[in-house]
Amino acid sequence: MSFESLWADQSAIGRNPETGGYTRGGWTPTEREATHWFLDQCAARGLAVESDGIGNLIAWWGASDGPGVVTGSHLDSVIDGGAFDGPLGVVSALAAIDRLRAEGFEPSVPLGVGAFVEEEGSRFGMPCLGSRVAAGVLSAEKALALTDRAGVPLALALEQAGIDPAGVGPSPLLQRMGTFVELHVEQGRGLTAPVGVASSIWPHGRFRFTFGGEANHAGTTLMEDRHDPMLTYAMTALAANKQARLAGARATFGRISVEPNGTNAVPSQVTAWLDARAADTATLELLLAAITKQATERAERDGTTLEVTPESVSPIVNFPTGLRDRLVGVLDGAPVLPTGAGHDAGVFSDAGIPTAMLFVRNPTGISHSPAEYAEQDDCLAGVEALAAVLKDLAK
């Protein structure tokens, strides 16, 4: 089956016809529909599918046991996200397998196509949730205690999706992952060739800023009598922007929650989530310290309080140079570049699995948005590159 047919077959799942964006939160009906699509495609190819306790999937072609070469990505999305982030890697993996089979290639080791759950963390707030649990980085106890914005615990979400939460824990799937190669759309403007190879993933983290204040009447409370946490938050958001620019880093407040959330009431509490990223750990730590310092000083002036809680912190990932250089050689000198985006590949690399990434060019540099885009010719070049890499690794 061609890449074009595969892409068209899954492209309507979870798509908002008004915005053109995709919403496939972990274990929601749209994400489950995409998962069932993947399982149907695997069945049509006679691939043997293995699953773990949280719902990660690997479909195998070739030898039935022993470590193999795995490729793939994720099928979930951010809220109103783009079409390519995640699904491009899964669709390209299936298309690459089809290409190799059509050529008559017989792998000497098993080749697997993976679909890993809740990579974006858009529902439960934990990025790479499925791979973190699989690798034992996040314990079953902590994972199952996570709740979504509606207050639904992960355990209940799994049950509703037909998955027994008692099975959540480190995954036996990782024992069969001798090598992992993830193809992904590049999420910035750093790649000018159709296909590139990743050198590293920037360290990054999500931090919860809780600003406490005093609820009061918006019409009768004098401005000088207010203890308004929204003001403290607003200054903090501006400080984050400035400090990130000075450091050559990234800082984003993309989500807030306000209590009591009334138009005519001074808030009693504002909770805001900071996404911070930098090229190295020292810069990331200095960035967070500078933002926190300015927020604390402003809270003192506003008569408000501040509490900063790390929710997830991922160290820098430097992909193995030997494997990276091997991919560059197979692809006739493809460019090498780092990424500021997090990926399951980073979790698996930290778990000791030899890991590499391929990027497909993003002409606009826009991602996590309905405007995310990749040219079809570049996507086809990505399939060709992935097939070549798999063929080399599975000789």
Q: Which residues are annotated as a binding site?
A: 74, 85, 120, 184, 206, 264, 277, 368
Which of 215, 259, 209, 261 lies closest to 237, judged by CA? 209
Q: How far apart are CA 109 and CA 63, in angstroms?
A: 6
Helix (H), strand (E), coil (C) string for the chain: CCHHHHHHHHCCCCECCCCCCECCCCCCHHHHHHHHHHHHHHHHCCCEEEECCCCCEEEEECCCCCCEEEEEEECCCCCCECCCCCHHHHHHHHHHHHHHHHCCCCCCCCEEEEEECCCCCCCCCCCCHHHHHHHCCCCHHHHHCCECCCCCEHHHHHHHCCCCHHHCCCCHHHHHEEEEEEEEECCCCCCCCCEEEEEEECCEEEEEEEEECCCEECCCCCHHHCCCHHHHHHHHHHHHHHHHHHHCCEEEEEEEEEECCCCCEECCEEEEEEEEECCCHHHHHHHHHHHHHHHHHHHHHHCCEEEEEEEEEECCEECCHHHHHHHHHHCCCCCEEEECCCCHHHHHHHCCCCEEEEEECCCCCCCCCCCCCCCHHHHHHHHHHHHHHHHHHCC
- Among positive and negative, which fits the CA dihedral 309, 86, 116, 200? negative
Q: How far apart are CA 204 and CA 251, in angstroms?
A: 10
Q: How far apart are CA 120 and CA 160, in angstroms?
A: 20
Q: Are 373 and 366 in contact (CB under 8 A)?
A: yes
Give the annotated binding-site residues for Zn(2+).
74, 85, 120, 184, 368
Helix axes 29-44, 3-10, angle to 10 degrees: 150
Pairing of strands 265-266, 68-74: unpaired
Give the annotated binding-site residues for allantoate.
206, 264, 277
